[in-house]
Structure 1
Amino acid sequence: MSQGTSSRQRHRNIVSIIGLCLESRHPYVISEYVDGQCVKDFIKRGGGLLNWPLRVKLLTQIADGMAFLHSTKPPILHRDLRCANLFITERDIVKVADFGLIHLTQPLRSACREEDCCCQGKYSACPPSISWTAPEVFAHPNSNESDGFITKAADVYSFGIVMWEIVMCEDPFDEIGSTKEVIEHVLSGGRPEIAGNAVILPQYKTLMQSCWDRDPENRPTFKQICVRMKELLFQARSFQKSIYNRRLKLQKDLSVKISRDSTSEPLNNTSSELP
């Protein structure tokens, strides 16, 4: 994040930066206060109660915010897009936060030579939460944006993981033990697993997988994602209605079965108990 960033980001779906200090040993940013909660907490509390139109509405606002950041001159890359860095206000407005902070931390992390330090100096181009990081960033773990390896497409990859996160309501790659194993898994083409019993809108799944495509050139832009999201909202409403009707039918069939079973049971022979 450059010192001019705060003057370039004013958008409904962006947390406004009020000021920043780069002169201290520990750089810090002052941002607007968001009266609400992070999306990570929101989806974990909601769990299976999140319906498809709501999921798409959340992601539409995220995509709108990211499209704005990428449209600035020069573009602002987030580089750490995940549900923990997204906030939802009391009025249900989603705001993208913590964008570009890696610009402040990367020089400090690069200077660290401790092997077991939390700075992860040898992965200075990657955020500490590496499970949302694109494979091309892993392939060049100490590069800068000026090197040409870290582009807008890296944020699109992270958005694809966020789409998965909003469906599964958990962190990606939790089953993998170490940072090194996650990096190797992603570089070899691995992506977060979709549970076999997960009910996913087909068009949503297609978009998610295109966002985390191995080749950055094959990923859509956020401008394209915004268009797709608006189309998805109509499909999500229809899909949610079909899920509701299917559940209603299952409940009705179960009630009929229970009723039949109860009426078909033979009466107990109690004649021996009579005097």
Structure 2
Amino acid sequence: MARSARLISKRRRRNSAIQLLDESEHGVEKRKVESDKRRRSLSEGSEPSGGKLALENPQQGHKGKLVGWVELSEVTLYREGTFSLCFTAILNDAEVVVKLLKSDAQLIDERAEDLFDTEIAVVLGGGNGMDGRSRHLVNMVGVGREERGGFVVLEKLTMTLEERLGNCRSSGGLGLSFPWWGGAKKKEDPWKDDLQLRMKTCLELARGLEHCHTGGLKMGGCVIHRDFNPKNLGFRDDGEAVVFDFGLSRVLENYTAVSNTMPRAMTGEVGSCRYQAPEVSCHSPYGAQSDVWSWAVVAWEIGTLQLPYGEITTVEYLCRVVEGGERLPLDGGWGFDEEFKGLLRECWEENMNKRPSMVEVVKRMESIMKIEGLKG
């Protein structure tokens, strides 16, 4: 019975991805024909003509488009995951990121193809990037399924949150400057010395997560990220924060994220331990509430510019946080608003049903930003 349910769920994810792709500017079959023509044109030594993918402004989002591998140039490997390879590349004179499923991924884990299909379905259904929530999810440029396997093409971000925090810490933390990514010249990053700007980043990431939880994606249901940490969060050129990498995400149908009901039994120990909710580490049923915990840990790190729990091991995390109830300090002289501290405490409730939903988190963060006088 359980196997049958998994197969049905897998079919639904694939059907969702196919349906969303069919809704794009041109039909899939037409794009396949055009891709074949371009390949033949290249093999004959001429430049491909027509049918090129028109990259839009990231703020305006992208419809699902079929991309042929031959359309990519300057493909360079820069990151390797358990199931996939990430490349930087050029597509129509614009920098993009290409995520490709490893050829031996199924040998590593039989779930690999399912996870990749889920990620494609999520980024395809990410919305048009025009509203205040979906704009904080990475924009999908296109997808492809060539001889080398399935791949997804995403907008290239300026940097990850992990990189930005790492540079803050390596340069001495608060009050010191470090090279800014905005150009060749070294510029002082205003983000590191301005708590309100960092709180704005927290709000933007909360909005992205809220969009996932509340059925804002075209595919419907509640998308649980399950790996919400600085490695999978980033910034565009204008400093706007973005959620990406849905490789471990799960889509739950008939799930009410607003009321945080219907926790599900899913694979435990996903993501980085210092950002994990206790129920995830304990293999207990969990849901969107676990993402709420992770958001609060990331928000604390953004606010303090310190590594949560320091150099903690998985065993120490289980003993100190999961079993011992230890929580991150909130009175370290970082200038946190009392409302913000109260919100983080609630997000770290041991009973996940007592944690606020991301809808409530966004509302309260917007209120905090309004009180502080900074437009979120």
Relative to the length of structure 1, the TM-score reads 0.67
2:352 alignment counterpart:
216
1:13 alignment partner, one of 136, 141, 145: 136
The answer on whether the counterparts of 1:60 and 1:230 sit within 8 Å (CA) in structure 2 is yes
Task: Indicate yes or no: 2:292 matched with 1:156.
Answer: yes
Residue 54 of structure 1: how far off its partner (Å): 0.5
1:172 & 1:211 partners in 2: Cα distance? Answer: 15
Deviation at 1:20, TM superposition (A): 7.6
Q: 1:195 to 1:207 in 2, by over 3 A?
A: closer
1:206 is the counterpart of 2:206:
no
SS of equivalent residue, structure 2 residue 346: helix
Aligned to 1:53: 196
Q: Which runs of 5+ in 2 are unaligned?
A: 1-114, 128-133, 175-191, 251-265
The answer for the alignment partner of 1:263 in structure 2 is: none
The code of the aligned residue for 2:203 comes to: T
Classify the secondary structure of the residue corresponding to 2:222. Answer: coil
SS of equivalent to 1:76: strand
Which structure carries more relative contact order (alpha carbon 8 Å, separation 6+)?
A: 1
Q: Distance in 2 between matches of 1:159 and 1:29?
A: 28
Distance between the aligned counterparts of 2:350 and 2:338, measured in 1?
A: 20
User: Gaps (5+ residues) in structure 1?
Assistant: 105-122, 142-148, 239-275
Residue of structure 2 in register with 1:138 after alignment: 281
Q: Deviations over 1:186-241 (max 9, x none)?
A: 21211223463433221111111111111111111111111111111123349xxx
Q: Counterpart of 1:88?
A: 235
Question: Aligned letter for 2:230?
Answer: C
Measured at CA, do residues 68 and 128 of structure 1 come closer, stay the same or move farther in structure 2, by a change above 3 Å? closer
User: How many angstroms apart in 2 are the aligned matches of 1:102 and 1:38?
Assistant: 18
Aligned to 2:318: 183
**Matched residues in 1 for 2:144 and 2:277: separation?**
27
* Structure 2 SS opposite 1:54: helix
Distance 1:128 1:12 in 2: 24
Segments of 4+ in structure 1 off by > 4 A? none
Match of residue 368 from structure 2? 232
Q: Report matched runs for 1:37-52 at 5 Å.
A: 37-46=159-168, 47-48=173-174, 49-52=192-195
Aligned residue pair count: 208
| AA at the equivalent of 1:185 | R
Separation in structure 2 between the aligned mates of residue 221 and residue 124 of structure 1, nearest angstrom:
22
Other structure's SS at 1:12 match:
helix
Task: Report how far residue 75 of structure 1 moved.
Answer: 1.1
Residue 14 of structure 1 aligns to which amino acid in structure 2? L
CA 1:207/1:20 → structure 2, altered by over 3 Å: closer, same or farther? farther
1:173 pairs with 2:309: yes
> SS state of the match for residue 4, structure 1?
helix
Distance 1:212 1:170 in 2: 18
Shift of 1:103: 5.2
The whole-number CA distance in structure 2 between the counterparts of 1:13 and 1:183 is 32
The change in CA–CA distance for 1:137 and 1:192 in structure 2 (over 3 A counts) is same
- Map residues 79-118 of structure 1 onto 2, 5 A cutoff: 79-99=226-246, 101-102=247-248
CA deviation digits over 1:114-154, x for unaligned, max 9? Answer: xxxxxxxxx9622352110001111217xxxxxxx120000
1:56: how far off? 1.9
Which of the two has greater strand per residue? 2
Q: 3-state SS of the aligned residue for 2:235?
A: strand
Q: Is 2:62 the counterpart of 1:62?
A: no
Q: 1:170 to 1:31 in 2, by over 3 A?
A: farther
Amino acid across the alignment from 1:39: L
CA distance in 1, matches of 2:241, 2:150: 23
Please give the alpha-carbon distance, in whole angstroms, between the structure 2 residues aligned to 1:29 and 1:194.
Answer: 42
Percent identity, please.
23
Q: The residue matched to 2:199 in structure 1 has which SS?
A: helix
Question: Which residue identity lines up with residue 12 of structure 1 in the other structure?
Answer: R
Contact 1:38 1:85 in 2 (8 A): yes
Q: CA deviation at 1:169?
A: 1.2
| Partner in structure 1 of residue 24 of structure 2 | none
Rounded to whole Å, the distance in 2 between the matches of 1:28 and 1:127 is: 23
In structure 2, what is the Cα distance between the partners aligned to 1:204 and 1:103?
Answer: 27
User: Is the CA contact 1:82–1:132 (under 8 Å) kept in the aligned structure 2?
Assistant: yes
